[in-house]
Amino acid sequence: MNDEPMSDIDWVLRKLEWLRAARIWPNGQRYLWTDAFGVVLLVSLHRALGKPRYLIEAEWLVGEVERVLGRARGIRIGEAIDRDGQYYHYLAKWIFALTRLGAIRPMYRERALELVREIHEPFIRRGVGVVWKMKEDLSGPYPGFGLGGLDAFDGYVAYRLLDERALAGPIRDMREIMDIAYPEMHITQDLALGMMLWLCHVFPGEQWARVQRSRCLATLDRMWIDPPGYFCREPHARRIKFAFTNFGVSLGLQAVGEMKDRVQRLHGFFETYRSGDEYYTDAITHVMACCAHLPGDWLRGDWDSA
């Protein structure tokens, strides 16, 4: 079992109990990003507590995502009517979630490989980029959307963690795009900064990771609002804040071991903050909060000891 602080695990268990009682998650509407984070959270709880119920629940959740959101090729963004189409970066997070569950139940690694084979060719534009959003049947780009900023990095990391040999070609596709993009890439959005830091921690010795880690930390330093203690949405939007994006920043900072005091302070701030909008009861806010409090299988150190 992992040596996670029991107080944080207790906090997560209380949060999950409230979410279930309120029928927010996992017994609410399906949303691929939230459910990917949720699968990893349940695997983390299984490892930390050694209780089979969390592994059983993770497998149930995968089945529900496939039942509700699964398509002939790929997985729909969400269950709600306005969450149609497919996002590559959501799919990459789902591939990672299946990989972590697959470390315990190998069949899920096979499912992840099948998913890569379904989605890679429709999304990739070799030497150019990765389409950010595709039509639901993957027949073409979703109208009005272009290329994703972090998507090649998402795919590169997810593919390498899944199976470097089987996915050698797709990995080369992603690395080619990354090598063009990373020297001039300057991320300014809070969640994207957190997710890039998380990506950097997976292969920290690679040049793209060293460059982006440094830039992301410098940008976040400019976005810290003190008092009361949170990261704003972007450097030029200092009055805008979201809880779920701050929890993504927390996860990224914990992955690279930086700004530990700020991580604790933002956790404290959002413990009592009430946004008064739909995000207060939206599953994404609370599932990402749980992952920030119990990063577990999101952190590479836990993979090596699993």
Secondary structure (3-state) at 233: coil
Sign of CA dihedral 263, 276, 290, 188: negative
Distance in angstroms (rounded) separating the CA atoms of residues 93 and 180: 23
Statement: residue 305 has pLDDT above 60: no
Which residue type is seen at 120? Answer: H
Q: Contacts for 117-121 with beta carbons within 8 Å, 24 or more apart?
A: 118/73, 118/74, 119/73, 119/74, 119/86, 119/88, 119/91, 120/155, 120/170, 120/173
pLDDT at 302: 64
Calpha distance 156→246 (Å, rounded): 24
Residue 252 contacts residue 193 (beta carbons within 8 Å): yes
DSSP three-state, residue 133 = strand
Residue pLDDT, tens place only, 247-271: 999 999 999 999 999 999 999 999 9
116 domain-assigned: no
Residue 222 in any domain: the answer is: yes
Split at pLDDT 50, 70, 90, the class of 298 is: very high
d(CA 97, CA 109): 10
Burial 74-102 (b: 16+ CB within 10 A, else e): bbbbbeeeebebbbbbbbbbbbbbbbbbb
When divided into structural domains, the chain yields a total of 1
Residue 220 lies in a domain: yes
Mean of the per-residue pLDDT values of the chain = 96
Per-residue confidence at 4, pLDDT binned at 50, 70, 90?
Answer: low
* pLDDT per residue as tens digits for the range 8-49: 999 999 999 999 999 999 999 999 999 999 999 999 999 999
Number of neighbours of residue 264 by Cβ within 10 angstroms:
12
- Report if residue 151 sits inside a domain: no
pTM above 0.85, yes or no: yes
213 is a domain residue: yes
Both tokens of residue 134? Answer: 């595709």
Q: Is residue 283 part of a domain?
A: no
Domain boundaries, position 246: 186-273
Tens-place pLDDT, residues 101-151: 999 999 999 999 999 999 999 999 999 999 999 999 999 999 999 999 999
Distance CA 228, CA 232 (A): 11
Task: Tell me if 132 is assigned to some domain.
Answer: no
In a domain, 250, yes or no: yes
Does residue 204 have a cis peptide bond before it, meaning omega lies within 30 degrees of 0? no
The tens digit of pLDDT for each residue in 90-106 reads: 999 999 999 999 999 99
User: For strand 124-125 and strand 86-87, is the pairing parallel, antiparallel, or unpaired?
Assistant: unpaired
- Confirm if 48 and 5 have CB atoms less than 8 A apart: no
Write out the two tokens for 217: 């930390």
Per-residue pLDDT reduced to its tens digit, 46-99: 999 999 999 999 999 999 999 999 999 999 999 999 999 999 999 999 999 999
Helix axis angle, 52-69 to 32-49, nearest 10°? 170
Q: Which residues, in sequence order, are bridge partners of residue 225?
A: 230
